[in-house]
Structure 1
Amino acid sequence: MSTVMITGAGSGIGQALAAEADRHGHDLILVGRRAEPLRDTAGRLSRPARIIDADITTAEGRARICTETDRLDILINNAGQVPAGALADLDDATIAAAIAVNVAAPISLTRDLLPLLTTARGQVVNMGSVFGDIGFPFFTAYSATKFALRGFSEALRREVAPQGIAVTYIAPRATHTPAMDSFHALVGPMAMSADTPEAVARHAWAAIAARRRDSYPPTRERLFVALQRLRPRMIDRALTRLARDPQVIAAARDLTT
């Protein structure tokens, strides 16, 4: 039985990851900014879970998490934001918040918890996105943060391997969560397919349990990632067509007006 910490555990993929971890018999530490959603997640589990309501983007919040954690086998950096819209319409605060939550916080929290993970010869799981391999128009800031998280995962994997720590990067496609509200207007015009949080969690836990280096959805998006790496100009043409589509442009503008 492992002790698993999940950030952003109050809703969406985080809540589904907690339910799946509970099904596998793990002890859970649920982390998020607000206690009430965490209590809702805890109430859905078959065993008691620890709740830490703390802001992972602050040193004070991370210090509280470390103080209240005495054992840790698996850290799941799941908390995130999905800024969407034309780059010209994204303000500084939106960009800074995305970088703080999606990039700086998981790097800093992982650093702070490394002593416990080293003792356990544990595992870091970073919840990325297919958009961390394929840069989508009108998701420039989000794609940038997920590319960064993927790079962090790769570098960290090599750095902590001598300590017996595994690093797993999970890259789901679009998922039906509250975060999807921030870009829902683009789903139709961009013909996006989306999974349920439960399906993402099941697929993620298969990779986590096997301590795999990464995991991509078992759908057409896996092919798109391969094409992005082998034939990037093919993906360029397809996504540039989307960026020229009047319906897509109108939907992107609606997100920031």
Structure 2
Amino acid sequence: MSSLTLLCLPYSGASAMVYSRWRRKLPAWLNVRPVELPGRGARLAEPLHTDLAALARQLAAEQRLTANQPYAVLGHSLGALLAFELVHELQALGCRPPVALFACGTAAPSRREEYDGARLREAKSDAELMDELRTLQGTPEEVLANEELMSLMLPILRADFLLCGHYAYRQRPALCCPLHVFGGEDDRASEEQLLAWRAETQGDFSLEVFPGGHFFIHEHEDRVLGVLSAALEPLRLTA
């Protein structure tokens, strides 16, 4: 049976382990590989990045062996932007393209200015970060009230917001892999901003909008995983 590796990149403030439960829920032929970023999880001792292009280059060097076998890449929010840059960096290293790129929960790279504007360019205070977490509705109040957890999480979130805020879109030849975009009905990214991802590939393109807000990938996990595996199953047979 042909198998595929799925590299999964986390959203702001998160460890890649937010994808760990997917290993139990996706088919056995799909090898879910959460990609941990420096400064969190098992890489807690490493310095946090605030330069997304540099981080993408580092991750590409780390994942280039994985890219010798059939693989796909998925990211949510910050992770989608990083997934896009990672695929470009792997291509620059001469690696094979992924069988598909899944960009979830954010505007296209070319539309970052209107999506984020100046909102994330300056480092935010702890209070501002807490307000942002409440707005995104992805963090339970009991977690927000836990000072020890917040002392670990807020520096990561601050750096991750700067990764987005300092991001500079670069015009490059379009990718050749299929690009599937997932959005939430009540999320901040507009349909136009999501459809703008289409310009980033010469391959097939699709947009799927799910119920829910920014964290629709968790709110409607089974539905998201169903669409994901349906998109990948025919590709694993031809990879």
TM (normalized to structure 2)? 0.44
Computing the radius of gyration from Cα coordinates, the structure with the larger value is: 1
TM (normalized to structure 1)? 0.42
Q: Relative CO higher for 1 or 2, CA cutoff 8 Å, sep ≥ 6?
A: 2
Identify, as 1 or 2, the structure richer in helix. 1
